[in-house]
Structure 1
Amino acid sequence: MSAITGTWLLRMKTPVGTIEAEYRFEEDDGVLCGSARGNGETTPLTDIAVTDGAEGERVTWRQRITRPLRLNLEYDVIVTGDTLVGESRAGRLPRSRVTGERAHA
């Protein structure tokens, strides 16, 4: 099972301010899938890939959003325990810092 499996609270520091969203990653028959909820919409995550590294588990994915703007986002994060850190990118816009913590029920 991947270390990213579960629910995460992410914060993205963007040029328009900090955006918070809830991300959920699940494994179904060995295939990792996910969704994100924030800014009044829920969107699927695509192209999720996981690789092991010296710093932790590296996870990348793509996501399309329509709020606050229509954007195609790409994420690249490192998961260590119950925290993650990395960056997201929306097309030609500058990279945005991403941090997150696992949500505990």
Structure 2
Amino acid sequence: MQLATVVIGIGVLFGLNGCDAGCSNEISSRIESPRGTHVAVVFNRNCGATTGLNTQLSVIAKGEAVPEAPANAFIADGSLALRVRWVSESELVVAGFDGARIVKQAKLANGVAVSYE
């Protein structure tokens, strides 16, 4: 019994370690900050048939590639038409996720304050 538990535990660890390997990001929009130092990137992340599509938002430095990882600012289930606007160089407002199941809603992403309406 203990051997089975150890084998299952190791399998879970290796499975979780490779979770992002089969995922792909499809960028919906890129919204540059007023002075162009940051970019808000909205994308749909698809990790295969066993998981549903979700909408994500990352705040990255201009010129930086979108990481092949979950977003640093916002994640919600489903394909959403997020509305994103910059208030200033360091403030971003996100809307358009009414009724969606929110997975992540960060207040700060890459040095930018993020608020939600």
Query: Could you say which TM-score interval applies, normalised by the shorter chain?
Result: 0.3 to 0.5
Which of the pair is proportionally richer in helix? 2
- TM-score normalised to structure 1 length: 0.42
Task: Mark the structure with the bigger radius of gyration.
Answer: 2
Q: Larger relative CO (CA 8 A, sep 6+): 1 or 2? A: 1
- TM-score normalised to structure 2 length: 0.38
Which of the pair is proportionally richer in strand? 1
